[in-house]
Amino acid sequence: MRFVSRQVRWRWAVVVCGVAVLCSIPAIVAAIPVPGSSITATALRARILASVTVPYEGYVESTADFGLPTLPDLSDVSKLLDGTTEQYAWYRSPAHWRADTLGTAGENDVYQVCRRTFLWYQAGNLLTRVVGAQPVRLPRAADLLPPALAGRLLRLAAPADRLSRLPSLRVAGVDAAGLRLVPASPTTTVGAIEVWADPASGLPVAVKVFARGASQPILVSDFLQFSLRRPALATVIPHPAPGVDQATARLSSLNGILNGGRRHPWPPELGGLRLSATPGDLTGVAFYGTGFARLALLPIPGRTGPQLVQAATSAGAGTITLPGGSAVLVRTPLLTVLLATSDRFGGLTFLLAGPVTAATLENAAGDLLALIERAR
């Protein structure tokens, strides 16, 4: 009996030691020094921008703290920009990918199939096919995936912005090379952008965005699980089960919604910022400035303008008096939004927004309302 007891104790000791070793493996791997990369900051940015064709799959966690007020019909955006988002992603190419957002009410999935986008809402048992281009839309969880987020931010960089290397970091098993971008313009609220990417493929695996003067990031997005494996085509194409409701949303009339089909004679300059190119054929929206010192301007049609002003005011937005009109200002560490209402033409309302200072938006709105006042 004593011999058997010793065997049992020995066996359990082996099991306990094995479990301890397995549990310590992640800590051991994390403690191994990350080898540095000799790639330059400029070359790393170029490689990141060229990684749009690199396939991958993985699990991402994004945490944002924009401090935006909760506005009517925008609760999904508020949760996205002020909270934690978890999602799985499968990416074959720019034309075929899928992102599944995990929530308490179920999954919300986005499928990109060539030029068509499919939105799946599990709670509503609804699959929606979006037809038409989407030059302007509300943010989605897939926009926070590190490859998409890093690519979009780095493409905005102006020539004067400063690039530098950061120490390498191990992210989801990848020995990632670090890149830091600091905007040069004093009018932007963006303080710095940090990206870590696989130095071989250029695929970003982690992103941090800092507001100007902040020591902690406003937005963090990184892979917790990651693979460069190419997902199967069947994985990124929706296959609705019997009984799933299906609908179609058409976006071909976006310009008409914004400006009634008219081409606005946008002023060449507002608030010291020059009119810049507008993507696609979206004539109802104007962009001013370059790099991160950039704002968007669009008219709000009909009764929607006063409703937005009332909602913003109820949410705590400050009221500003401007020559020829008034405005309400929503200020956050990273994003500033201003709704300007003219005293002329029945109270036409304009929305100005961007990662710029409140003074920049106020100056632009003042110039706009002054032009309207002179044109009466």
Same domain, 226 and 313: no
Confidence category of residue 183, pLDDT binned at 50, 70, 90: very high
Question: Phi/psi of residue 110, each to 5°?
Answer: -120, 130
Q: How confident is the model at residue 373 (pLDDT cuts 50, 70, 90)?
A: confident
What confidence score (pLDDT) does residue 86 get? Answer: 95
**For residue 21, pLDDT beyond 60:** no
Question: 345 and 228, same structural domain?
Answer: no
Token pair recorded at residue 244: 């799933």
Q: Does one domain contain both 141 and 167? A: yes
Q: Which residue would you say has higher pLDDT here, 258 or 184? A: 184
pLDDT at 358 over 90: yes
pLDDT over threshold 50, residue 11: yes
Which of 29, 49, 30, 40 shows the shortest CA–CA distance to 201? 49
In a domain, 311, yes or no: yes
Same domain flag for 237 and 288: no
Residue 146 lies in a domain: yes
What's the rounded Cα separation, in Å, for the pair 191 and 214?
7
140 vs 50, more confident: 50
Domain co-membership, 121 together with 198: yes
Indicate if 302 and 347 belong to the same structural domain. yes
What pLDDT sits at residue 148? 96
Higher pLDDT, 182 or 348: 182
Calculated CA dihedral for residues 44, 92, 121, 301, nearest 10 degrees: 60
Higher-pLDDT residue of 276 and 19 is 276
Is 242 a member of any domain?
yes
pLDDT top residue among 121 and 92: 92
Q: How many CB atoms lie within 10 A of CB 298?
A: 18
pLDDT over threshold 70, residue 24: no
In degrees and rounded to multiples of 5, residue 144 shows phi and psi of: -95, 0
Do 314 and 359 lie in one domain? The reply is yes
Q: What is the pLDDT of residue 257?
A: 41
Instruction: Indicate which CATH number applies to the domain containing 362.
Output: 3.40.1000
Is 104 or 148 the better-scoring residue by pLDDT? 148
Residue 302 has pLDDT above 60, yes or no: yes
Domain boundary among 249, 264, 286: 249
DSSP structural state of residue 156: T
What does the mean pLDDT of the chain come to? Answer: 84
309 domain residue, yes or no: yes
196 and 226 in a single domain? The answer is: yes
What is 47-66 written as a DSSP string?
A: HHHGGGG--EEEEEEEEEE-
Better-scored residue on pLDDT, 314 or 237: 237
| Residue 200 is assigned to a structural domain of this protein | yes
Closest residue by Cα to residue 112 from 133, 84, 126: 133
- Together in a domain, 82 and 117: yes
Query: What's residue 315's pLDDT?
Result: 75
Q: Do 258 and 245 share a structural domain?
A: no
Residue 318 has pLDDT above 90, yes or no: no
Strand ranges inside 43-114, DSSP E: 56-65, 82-93, 96-103, 106-113
Whether residue 171 contacts residue 163, with contact meaning beta carbons closer than 8 Å, is answered with no
Provide DSSP, 360-376.
HHHHHHHHHHHHHHHT-
315 plus 205 within the same structural domain: no
Say yes or no to pLDDT of 2 above 60.
no
Count of domains forming the chain: 2
In this structure, the number of other CB atoms found within 10 A of the CB of residue 291 comes to 18
For range 60-87, the mean pLDDT: 79
Q: 215 near 224, Cβ under 8 Å? A: no
> CA nearest 184: which of 166, 162, 163?
162
Among 306, 301, 344, which Cα is nearest to 325's?
Answer: 344
Range scoring the smallest mean pLDDT among 20-24, 240-244, 268-272, 291-295: 20-24
Structural domain includes residue 13: no
Residue keyed to tokens 């999602």: 87
Q: How far is CA 9 from CA 3, 15, 205, in A?
A: 10, 10, 45
Give the integer Cα–Cα distance in Å for 198 and 178.
Answer: 9
Residue 304: strand, helix, or coil: helix
Task: Between 373 and 281, name the one with better pLDDT.
Answer: 373
- pLDDT (average), residues 367-373: 88
Main-chain dihedrals φ then ψ at residue 24, nearest 5 degrees? -85, -10
Give the mean pLDDT of 129-137. 68
Q: Is 275 among the domain residues? A: yes
* Domain termination site, one of 249, 275, 294: 249
Q: Single out the residue in 249, 278, 301 at which a domain terminates.
A: 249
pLDDT at 73: 56
Cα three-residue angle 216-330-137, rounded to 5 degrees: 90
pLDDT in tens, 235-282: 999 999 888 899 887 754 444 444 444 456 788 999 999 998 766 555
Q: What is the DSSP letter of 188?
A: B
pLDDT at 26 over 50: no
Average of per-residue pLDDT across 175-195: 97
pLDDT, mean of residues 4-28:
51
Asked if 110 and 200 sit in the same domain, the reply is: yes
**Domain boundaries, position 358:** 253-374
| 150 within some domain | yes
Q: What is the CATH number of the domain that holds 204?
A: 2.50.20.10
Give the model's confidence band at 6: pLDDT under 50 very low, under 70 low, under 90 confident, else very high.
low
Residue 166, amino acid:
L
